[in-house]
Structure 1
């Protein structure tokens, strides 16, 4: 990258190299040294050295290679200083050999091995998320801590424990065998989806309601996973579905908050503010999966169906043009493979638009035992009660939803909706009608 004078912008080149090369560099170091600590720390040290040297010496012709070589030298120096000097020295000199590594999985890519290592089932889901963001995403411990509202020391300890657990459990640095890949890819995709959701709908009242950096990082990692999986495989299909889902959801990010920081419902969003580039890419991926399945929605997996539902929403010029019959059919297919209470709740929302709020409310009330502590259940109930004219019950449901909500923008939105119901019931008793989102 160059500035207006034609000189290379060192800071921009450092940022680009970190963004584009971090995962590849760390993954290569893990393969050579079989140690997550050595890989992470020497890669970070190499970038720190670049910060010092490049402004003086100039940006090297191949920045990624420069960082890699520097990291390898630092790793070898570190091993030489270890207490078991002789054994470690022999190992270090052996690892300088650039000959191809032994086969370590049916897909030969260091980056995919690193992703599977970070998302290994031996770790808790929160540890998988933290380790993936650090080792694969290259986020700093401070950035990850801020994203999940914990002290930096706590997050640092969590990442250190995760790496120690991987070492103690002797987790192999491999892509699983072909017959084991499907459930492990599901774990990886689940981790990426959780990272995306935390960015798109952040938890906590003292944090930005939308964390674009986290959402964009999840999209970047989803692209990487899709790029590395065999084209046409079942795993590739779901990775494609997840990427499409993220793109179609992220396309609406700029319209989700009002100027005052309140959550804006889907039916009230300014659709001209949606990112049409992301929408076109997402819809193209959905169409690709539908064509591959012969346009049979029953052949689609969970993420593919969620992406297809979002494609219907973003394809409607106006909220009232939404094809709710299509959305209900897609939720029917999703419920067959994932009959979870949340899927059934979202299906009921679609039913309220396609059929009636009364029918939907009956379906929602069946979920009370499963979702009593979930704010989305009470939010949905409040909206349906409002639409059916039951103001007192709606206010109570809004109150419970506000108590359980963790996103500041949503709390502001729910408070306004509740106050509208209260004001309407105190004047002429009318209710405010609108679509659920």
Structure 2
């Protein structure tokens, strides 16, 4: 089993040939970070005729934007009533409405810019792995249906048919959602932004930022960009001391393991409508298939710090639990991405200094949230109006004891997975 990201190798969108930033440049807006948030911001600004320059430390994609599960999910990870309780009624329902419509925004961009990313629009499945999980899904379904959300609580035969497993007796089907190849989607956003006039630079890590008159200057090893406004779109991959974002999240990880393409006879009943799925376990498992029929399993934790034998054992355990009808599965590759967590599982939108916009804390919902935040940032920069963002832009408090949160999460994930491998946990 190789350590490599499947999505890069199977992306129908080719990478752009981009140069590193050299020399001194000017723009109306400078964006740091070439993931989904930064590219969505650049694309929407460029479409409006605003001069924008974006720098990325590596290739596009480089971080979580190309390494995630590829679920085009609606909303946040926590259910809508919990969001309203955490953020307050007004802000909570704003998040529910804005991010509930986020899959539509993603699919609209895919169609408008003809992004070839193997997108499906058949929904996602949240799977109840035990009786407690069934109660939780019933609670979520009631909350969604109260808001008129197109979700469906599947039970028994209808649930088994959608998943291809009789292990699950109840699942929540969200008709708003879907799947895609995240590396291809990110490359497609980059192509669209570049075509519309955004200047994109790769292998150009920001080394700092400083005041420059009424605006800001971002520096790299070989150049700089002076701009009136600055967007920090580095999210979970923020490491530099000067970058304010690093104080507002704690880093977690998510690994995935992909099989070789399964034969039609092996896999014809597994997720036949190509929904992506995840379960209600304390440490969730994700399940999906790609365009070539591979089975892709994932979970929270650092896969790249574990032996291949551990990942193979875990993947075998999950596959045998859900799909015992399969013959021996050959696992082809594994990879890990990084997630920006917050203690309350909600995102942070803030201005760390006048003229700077920042965001973090997607908590594993980066495809949709990043796309919508990028559109909202562009609108705010042009009109001084934050109404298209999931939350108002306001001061944010740093996450205290981030290192302890990170260590506790990773230790818990590892212990849970070890319990699964040892069959102590179903």
TM-score range, shorter chain: under 0.3
Higher-Rg member (1/2):
1
TM-score, length basis structure 2:
0.23
Using CA pairs under 8 Å that are at least 6 residues apart, name the structure with larger relative contact order, 1 or 2. 2
TM-score, length basis structure 1:
0.23
